[in-house]
Amino acid sequence: MHLARGEPARARRRHGAELEAALLDAAWDELTERGYAALTFDAVARRAGTSRPVVNRRWATKDVLVREAIARANDRFTLVDPDTGSLRDDTIALLEQLNEAFVAFAAVMTARLATFFEETGTSPAELRESLVSGRWPLIESVVNRAVERGEIDASKVTPRIVSLPYDLLRHEALMNVEPMSPAAVREIVDTIFLPLVV
């Protein structure tokens, strides 16, 4: 069969996990571009190349769709354990991996989700916890390896100190909505974090 000039090709029909992933990606794109208040099932369906009933069959409410879209966007970003043999270099490597991701999520959480938090009665802190909890074991393991090597003083290590470099990175992302410079990442590690643990 030949298409007439200008006639659009028929999209391949998607099913199951593939269709759900396309819908969640479309919801994330709508969220980042338009914000929660302006996001609609119709817009998500259009962006995903399907119909609104397809969206409605999977998600009863917009907030549930958005939660799952955020979770999928978060799951696509994975941390790689640098394991350089040095706490300084491991921490810098993890901060550099998180830099772009924090900015993307900071933009959504500050400018795009105000109505979501109002409607659901939740807070940015609760959403942040759901996003970072899966990465915390790797961050802790970097510090634990440094303790085992005798590189840092275990008596000075507390959960707040371990999270400090990442909290500072997140704060910068929220305030500036742009990646931190490599020099600033190293400054956090060299002048704030390491002096607290050695």
Per-residue pLDDT tens digits for 172-191? 888 887 899 999 999 999 99
Look over the chain and give the mean of its residue pLDDT values, rounded to a whole number. Answer: 87
Domains of the chain, with CATH numbers?
Answer: 16-61 (1.10.10.60), 77-197 (1.10.357.10)
pLDDT at 131 (0 to 100)? 67
pLDDT at 10 (0 to 100)? 43
pLDDT at 12 (0 to 100)? 60
% the chain with pLDDT above 90: 60
Gap between the Cα atoms of 87 and 93, Å rounded: 10
pLDDT at 111 (0 to 100)? 66
The amino acid at 116: F
Q: Has residue 76 got a pLDDT over 70?
A: yes
- Kindly write down the DSSP assignment for every residue of 26-74, as one continuous string: HHHHHHHHH-TTT--HHHHHHHHTS-HHHHHHH-SSHHHHHHHHHHHHH
- Kindly write down the DSSP assignment for every residue of 153-194, as one continuous string: -GGG--HHHHHHHHHHHHHHHHHHSSPPPHHHHHHIIIIIIH
pLDDT at 150 (0 to 100)? 95
C-alpha dist (Å) from residue 64 to 57, 72, 122: 13, 12, 13
Higher pLDDT, 31 or 106: 31
> pLDDT per residue over 118-156, tens digit each?
888 888 777 777 767 778 899 999 999 999 999 999 999
Higher pLDDT, 188 or 14: 188
Which of helix, strand or coil describes residue 118? helix
Residue 87 · residue 162 · CB < 8 Å:
no
C-alpha dist (Å) from residue 66 to 29, 114, 126, 127, 144: 11, 13, 15, 11, 36
Q: Has residue 3 got a pLDDT over 60?
A: no
Residue 188 · residue 170 · CB < 8 Å:
no
User: Confidence band (pLDDT; 50, 70, 90) for 5?
Assistant: very low
Give the least confident one: 6-20, 22-36, 94-108. 6-20
Give the least confident one: 27-41, 112-126, 145-159. 112-126
